[in-house]
């Protein structure tokens, strides 16, 4: 998708996975869905509309490269959500390391015939460093994600994932500040920036507030139990 759209757009659209994961948790795993989560869902939808306010008409034509890129990211969000929900079920029987080991081994077997490993030696030191960072980051990120899914509900994991656009948009804007000719970063308008903010706020409301509510409720239960034990 990054061959068609910039990182800011990809990061905004991939936030659909946060919404899909929450809905999957509600429908499949019967997690609670409070009124504030419904408000957060509306903010997510509104944020996406604002973010793409200049591209809404372009979505009518699949010949547009950005539209193709957006559709690829949407497909990625759906497949990633399916992966996350299936992994949560598998974590009841297997450890995160076991699951990730099988996934990576399968990926190597499938992708190895399609790649040319010798091209790695043609990379510049900077390119090789970026590739190494991406490899290490993937292992660490998905390892942490798997551990989180084994300990938390899907909604709690989504609360953390909702913060990702802040880092992506902020880092890209910082890159543009130092490198104004950076090819893969749009100059976002105020409406688009407001949409990105709404998107993050909506994701946090949908995912983080239930965790805070459950935590407060648990404290009340513990306090009541402590009082009863003193009687």
Question: Closest Cα to residue 45, out of 73, 19, 27?
Answer: 19
Asked whether residue 106 carries a pLDDT value surpassing 90, the answer given is yes
What is residue 31's predicted lDDT score, i.e. its pLDDT?
Answer: 75
What is residue 38's predicted lDDT score, i.e. its pLDDT?
Answer: 80
* Interatomic CA distance for residues 192 and 140, integer angstroms: 31
210-224 pLDDT, tens digit each: 667 777 877 888 787
Asked whether residue 105 carries a pLDDT value surpassing 90, the answer given is yes
What is residue 187's predicted lDDT score, i.e. its pLDDT?
Answer: 60
189-205 pLDDT, tens digit each: 788 788 878 878 887 78
68-99 pLDDT, tens digit each: 788 888 899 999 999 999 998 899 899 888 99
What is residue 197's predicted lDDT score, i.e. its pLDDT?
Answer: 84
What is residue 174's predicted lDDT score, i.e. its pLDDT?
Answer: 79
CB atoms within 10 A of CB 122: 9
- Distances in Å between the Cα of 13 and the Cα atoms of 56, 75, 111, 154, 186 are 13, 10, 26, 19, 15
42-74 pLDDT, tens digit each: 887 788 778 777 666 655 555 567 777 888 888
What is residue 67's predicted lDDT score, i.e. its pLDDT?
Answer: 76
Asked if 92 contacts 81 with a C-beta cutoff of 8 angstroms, the reply is no
Sign of the CA dihedral with 59 first, then 65, 69, and 75 last: positive
* Interatomic CA distance for residues 114 and 105, integer angstroms: 15
* Interatomic CA distance for residues 55 and 4, integer angstroms: 14
Residue pointed to by tokens 């920036």: 193
* Interatomic CA distance for residues 231 and 229, integer angstroms: 6
Asked whether residue 7 carries a pLDDT value surpassing 70, the answer given is no
Question: Which distant-in-sequence residues (6+ apart) come within 8 Å of 96 by Cβ?
Answer: 143, 146, 147, 149, 150
What is residue 156's predicted lDDT score, i.e. its pLDDT?
Answer: 72
130-186 pLDDT, tens digit each: 899 988 998 898 888 888 888 877 777 876 777 776 677 777 777 777 777 766 555
Which has more pLDDT, 2 or 14?
14
What is residue 55's predicted lDDT score, i.e. its pLDDT?
Answer: 64
Question: Closest Cα to residue 48, out of 2, 10, 12, 18?
Answer: 12
* Interatomic CA distance for residues 121 and 139, integer angstroms: 22
């Amino acid at each position: 998708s990054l061959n068609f759209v910039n990182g800011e757009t990809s990061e905004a659209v991939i936030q659909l996975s946060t919404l899909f994961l929450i809905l999957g948790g509600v429908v499949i795993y019967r997690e609670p869905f409070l009124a504030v989560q419904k408000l957060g869902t509306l903010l997510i939808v509104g944020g996406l509309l604002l973010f793409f306010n200049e591209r809404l008409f372009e979505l009518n034509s699949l010949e547009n490269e950005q539209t193709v890129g957006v559709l690829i990211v949407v497909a990625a969000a759906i497949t990633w959500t399916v992966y996350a929900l299936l992994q949560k079920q598998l974590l009841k029987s297997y450890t995160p390391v076991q699951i990730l080991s099988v996934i990576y081994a399968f990926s190597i077997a499938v992708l190895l015939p399609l790649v040319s490993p010798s091209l790695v030696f043609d990379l510049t030191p900077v390119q090789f460093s970026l590739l190494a960072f991406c490899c290490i980051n993937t292992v660490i990120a998905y390892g942490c994600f798997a551990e989180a899914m084994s300990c938390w509900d899907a909604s709690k994991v989504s609360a953390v994932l909702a913060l990702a656009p802040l880092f992506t948009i902020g880092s890209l804007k910082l890159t543009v500040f130092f490198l104004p000719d950076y090819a893969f970063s749009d100059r976002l308008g105020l409406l688009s920036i407001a949409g990105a903010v709404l998107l993050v706020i909506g994701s946090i409301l949908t995912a983080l507030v239930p965790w805070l509510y459950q935590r407060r409720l648990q404290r009340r239960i513990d306090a009541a139990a402590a009082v009863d034990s003193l009687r």
